[in-house]
Amino acid sequence: MIHKILIYGLTLGGALSITIGLFHTYFYRFFNWEDDFSKISILNARVFCTIHIATILFLIGFGFLSIQFRETLSEASGLAAGICIFYSLFWLWRLLWQVIYFNPSKIELDSKLLVVYYMLVSLFAILFIVYGAPVFFNALD
């Protein structure tokens, strides 16, 4: 029973990762980066853009891999355990970064952005749990 739940969780995690990656494709317009990039050097703008595109590819690629290899990842042995630990820790870092770095008390957020803030906190917590669960439950066996 737990094994099936882990597989469903990894499928959900993969779908959420793909969704977050696709959402990142709208950042350029959403955050009006064209204006910001015009104020910095071309090199800095290109470095920033390169990192952002790499993040998008990572999220979408890892999402598809999570769905394609969900059964292997759910067993969390060998390389699959390492991948689950890495991605779980990645989402834990992203959760902590959201809570500390984007703390609403330090940034002026309108009510819509505040809702987005709490949605992201929840989403990152879910992803941390989804990818950590296979390692945790397989360690109990």
The whole-angstrom separation of Cα 105 and Cα 122 is 18
Per-residue confidence (pLDDT) for residue 1, from 0 to 100: 87
Contact between residue 18 and residue 59 where contact means Cβ atoms under 8 Å apart? yes
pLDDT of res. 106: 76
Mean pLDDT of 63-87: 97
| pLDDT of 110 higher than 80 | no
Q: How many CA atoms lie within 13 A of 80 on its CB side?
A: 18
Q: What is the mean pLDDT of residues 1-29?
A: 96
Of 55, 76, 52, whose CA–CA distance to 141 is shortest?
Answer: 76
pLDDT of residue 46: 95
Query: What do you get for the CA distance between the two ends of the chain, in Å?
Result: 13
pTM: 0.91
Which residue would you say has higher pLDDT here, 107 or 54? 54
How do residues 25-35 score in pLDDT, each as one tens digit? 999 998 899 99
Mean pLDDT of 111-136: 94
Lowest-confidence pick of 25-39, 63-77, 122-136: 25-39
